[in-house]
């Protein structure tokens, strides 16, 4: 561990902040409707920032900056690198869709997305209650504006209002919980909070009340039941480009804040928060999968699918510590990290197909809109099939290995409760397979409803092809990414 005031440790964030401000000013001089110059400069910025994060991830050092308020460790660098790439891929897919709907005026889509990414980076590297909350607000505030970017669209405006009201309520829960934990421990620093909780000399009532509010706030950010009510409405109501922006990269930041607050800050209370997460996981798997079966709108189906997928992630956090035995922690938390990264990768490709099928005046968001897609564009159908099979957990796609690693960590925990959770998760996956396979059936066996040609620029076709290849390739060879996740989690204990 290194204590440093060296600004080089936060160089990627400083570059991102400077370039975002520069892009906002530069865009004032850009007059073309598709903002070509702004788009290219944004992608270049994201590529450089991602490269810097991955270079930092190659180091095993853990560096604390600004009086322990910021930590730069392998987990943070890896998650920030993948989040940056996710935003880059999202913008590549989104540009034609946004341009056709007049969403690129003043370059708001680019600058708001970059500021939101900055919030994710601060949140992922936060090692202090104030830093974590600052990052959370910097992530969500641009998100509210992005959802309402089509101000002439009633559905988008309604979704933005719901997102704002419920998001503010959840932020209030989290802030109130953190204030109670601060009141009980007398510190805002995660390491000091853990030491204070370990001492056993605190007011348990205040501490436990704070923990309940913290878990509720985190559950909202993950979209877990019963704090899931915003997910279907916002996914459905927001422009599809924005749906991907709030449903992709921010999930990595949500995973990070769960790790920081619960695992790093409140590990001595693990028995209490594991029980809360167990209830959230079971409810999310049950309601998410059952509700998804009834959906005919593809975006709403993927929204309920997200709720169920987050239930799987929470199962990993349930099996980290058994009694006083923490030997399963590294396997459990690294499987959760692997699951979240591969889920985001798969979501990018699935929404990428939806975005590229949409055209001016047509959203292509109903499941029936995909009818006969294989006859119209075999590549698009193949990528979407890979995504659906991966989300369902069908081998050899990456989703199978992600689910397998989570279930393996549950079984390694031993005991009847964990075996029961494993059986329940498998049963829920079988239900989930129905609505994923329904999409594949529509693409390959139904007669085409749409006959318009599918047009996509070369950069979008290449990106979609790479995205789909990764979903398959990482399923065939998951060892490299799993090892990176394992090493990143292991570095937290050293």
What residues contact 109, with CB distance under 8 A and at least 6 apart? Answer: 91, 94, 98, 103, 146, 149, 241
Q: What's the pLDDT at 494?
A: 67
d(CA 478, CA 398): 7
**pLDDT, tens digit, for every residue of 48-70?**
999 999 998 888 788 888 888 89
**pLDDT, tens digit, for every residue of 258-294?**
999 998 888 888 888 889 999 999 999 999 999 999 8
Q: Which position has the token pair 């994201």?
A: 46
Query: HSE of 494 in the Cβ direction (CA atoms, 13 Å)?
Result: 10
Q: What's the pLDDT at 7?
A: 78
Residues of the chain whose pLDDT is less than 50? none
Q: How far is CA 136 from CA 27, 121, 122, 261, in A?
A: 26, 10, 8, 13
pTM here is: 0.93
484 backbone dihedrals φ, ψ, rounded to 5°: -60, -45
User: Of 172, 165, 110, which is closest to residue 136 (Cα–Cα)?
Assistant: 172
> With the C-alpha atoms ordered 314, 315, 319, 323, is the resulting torsion angle positive or negative?
positive
Q: What's the pLDDT at 278?
A: 92
- How is residue 406 written in tokens? 């989570």
> Could you check whether the bond before residue 100 is cis, i.e. omega within 30 degrees of 0?
no
């Amino acid at each position: 561990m290194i204590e440093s005031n060296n600004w080089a440790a936060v160089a990627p964030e400083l570059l991102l902040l400077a370039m975002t401000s520069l892009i906002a000013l530069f865009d004032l001089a850009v007059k073309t409707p598709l903002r070509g110059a702004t788009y290219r400069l944004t992608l270049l910025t994201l590529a450089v920032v991602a490269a810097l994060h991955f270079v930092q991830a190659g180091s095993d050092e853990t560096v604390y900056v600004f009086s322990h308020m910021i930590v730069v460790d392998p987990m943070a660098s890896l998650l920030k690198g993948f989040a940056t790439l996710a935003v880059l891929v999202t913008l590549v897919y989104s540009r034609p869709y946004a341009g056709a709907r007049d969403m690129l005026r003043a370059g708001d889509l680019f600058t708001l997305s970059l500021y939101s990414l900055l919030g994710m980076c601060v949140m992922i590297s936060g090692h202090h209650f104030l830093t974590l909350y600052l990052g959370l607000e910097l992530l969500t505030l641009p998100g509210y504006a992005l959802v309402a970017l089509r101000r002439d669209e009633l559905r988008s405006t309604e979704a933005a209002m719901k997102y704002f009201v419920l998001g503010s309520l959840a932020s209030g829960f989290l802030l109130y919980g953190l204030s109670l934990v601060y009141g009980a421990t007398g510190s805002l620093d995660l390491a000091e909070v853990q030491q204070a909780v370990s001492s056993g000399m605190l007011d348990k009532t205040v501490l436990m009340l704070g923990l309940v509010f913290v878990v509720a706030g985190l559950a909202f950010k993950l979209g877990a039941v019963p704090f899931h009510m915003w997910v279907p409405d916002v996914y459905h109501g927001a422009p599809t480009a924005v749906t991907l922006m709030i449903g992709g990269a921010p999930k990595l930041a949500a995973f990070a804040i769960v790790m920081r607050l619960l695992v790093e800050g409140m590990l001595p209370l693990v028995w209490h928060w594991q029980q809360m997460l167990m209830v959230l996981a079971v409810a999310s798997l049950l309601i998410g999968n059952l509700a998804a079966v009834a959906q005919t709108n593809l975006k709403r189906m993927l929204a309920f699918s997200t709720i169920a997928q987050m239930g799987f992630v929470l199962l990993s956090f349930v099996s980290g510590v058994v009694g006083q035995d923490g030997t399963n922690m590294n396997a459990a938390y690294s499987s959760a990290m692997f699951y979240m990264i591969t889920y985001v990768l798969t979501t990018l490709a699935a929404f990428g197909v939806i975005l590229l099928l949409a055209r001016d005046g047509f959203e292509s968001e109903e499941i029936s809109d995909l009818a006969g897609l294989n006859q119209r564009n075999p590549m698009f159908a193949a990528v979407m099939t890979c995504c659906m099979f991966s989300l369902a957990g069908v081998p050899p796609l990456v989703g199978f290995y992600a689910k397998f690693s989570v279930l393996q960590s549950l079984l390694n925990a031993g005991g009847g409760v964990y075996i029961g959770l494993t059986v329940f998760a498998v049963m829920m996956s079988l239900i989930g397979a129905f609505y994923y396979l329904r999409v594949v059936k529509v693409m390959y066996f139904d007669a085409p409803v749409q006959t318009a040609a599918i047009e996509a620029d070369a950069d979008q076709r290449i990106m979609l092809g790479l995205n789909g290849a990764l979903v398959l390739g990482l399923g065939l060879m998951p060892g490299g990414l799993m090892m990176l996740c394992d090493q990143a989690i292991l570095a937290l204990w050293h």
